[in-house]
Structure 1
Amino acid sequence: MKSIGEAAAESGVSAKMIRHYESIGLVDAQRAANNYRTYGKDEVAVLRFIRHARALGFPLEDVRRLLDLWRDRNRASAEVKRLALDHVATLEAKADSLRAMATSLRHLAAHCHGDARPDCPIIAELEKKD
């Protein structure tokens, strides 16, 4: 059994996040006689799985579903694929939104003199009323 520090080092998930994941039921810790958390190889594998899923940007609700599917050896891969493709669509929409923001800011910056004058279209845009 590993301490929380050892599980953190082995999984790449911080001790703080391990405690959070435990508090929301994504991972279970055993308790030693001294009431310290301990983790076995299965729990460390779960933590790695969570880290990889989070690195791909999956929200916690999807991570929970993916964990359920991972644990279910009778799962239909179609459900895993659907979750992944739904997430891709969300990421692409977010990327489109970020590109639009960058285009707007680039346009505003191009029209800002960037000198000692106080006039600035960037500030003017930010102070607009909706």
Structure 2
Amino acid sequence: MRIGEIAQTTGVDVETIRYYEKTGLLPTPPRLSNGYRDYGEHHGERLTFIRHCRALDMPLAEIGRLLDFVTHPEADCGDINRLIDDHLARVRARLNSLHALEKQLAALRARCKIGHVAADCGILHELVAAAHGEACACHAANRGEAR
């Protein structure tokens, strides 16, 4: 199957497939006599695996490690568990960071009511103050302080 066909079958962009080949995540397929790449079923399975891991927000380096385990099924799966545990810890840290960001944005949004002109906008005043290094209510709200 040609690259356009496997791209459509797997939902992976043609340029991404070429990148995966270049980085070694996807083995380079043999070429037909006309020079076109000839992708097999195993390429499609591997691309689907990679796409699923990317949907889980895994970095390509970790996906490469997981693919090594796929090709070496006799290996100890403890390393797989550690890899997923590490990824889970990073996701949890990002969630905590996003919750803090949510609080900051909510505090910032509370600084302005609809119906005023931009010159009176509490949000803009807060952002300008923060740009000048002054404390802003959105950061105070994140620390549980009041202004």
TM-score for the superposition, normalised by structure 1:
0.90
CA distance in structure 2 between the partners assigned to 1:19 and 1:33 by the alignment: 19
Aligned twin of 2:97: 97
Aligned-residue offset at 1:96: 1.0
Opposite residue 3 of structure 2, the aligned amino acid is I
How far apart in 2 are the matches of 1:77 and 1:129? 52
Aligned-residue sequence identity (percent) comes to 39
Consecutive unaligned residues in structure 2, runs of 5 or more: 134-147
Matched residue of 1:124: which SS? helix
Partner of 2:113: 113
Equivalent residue number for residue 14 of structure 2 = 15
Question: Which structure would you say has the larger RCO, counting Cα contacts within 8 Å and 6 or more residues apart?
Answer: 1
In the other structure, the counterpart of 1:25 is 24
Corresponding residue for residue 85 of structure 1: 85
Name which of structure 1's ranges 118-127 and 24-33 shifts more when overlaid on structure 2.
118-127
Aligned mates of 1:124, 1:22 — CA distance in 2: 50
Structure 1 gap segments, 5+ residues each: none
Higher radius of gyration, 1 or 2: 2
1:26-65, aligned counterparts within 5 Å?
26-28=25-27, 29-65=29-65
- Structure 1 residue ranges, 4+ long, deviating more than 4 angstroms after superposition: none
Deviation at 1:90, TM superposition (A): 0.5
What TM-score do you get using the length of structure 2 for normalisation?
0.80
Alignment partners' CA distance in 2, 1:124 and 1:75:
58
> What is the aligned-residue RMSD (CA, Å)?
1.5
Aligned-partner SS, 2:120: coil
Q: Closer, same or farther in 2 for the Cα pair 1:123/1:23, shift >3 Å? A: farther
Deviation, structure 1 residue 64: 0.7
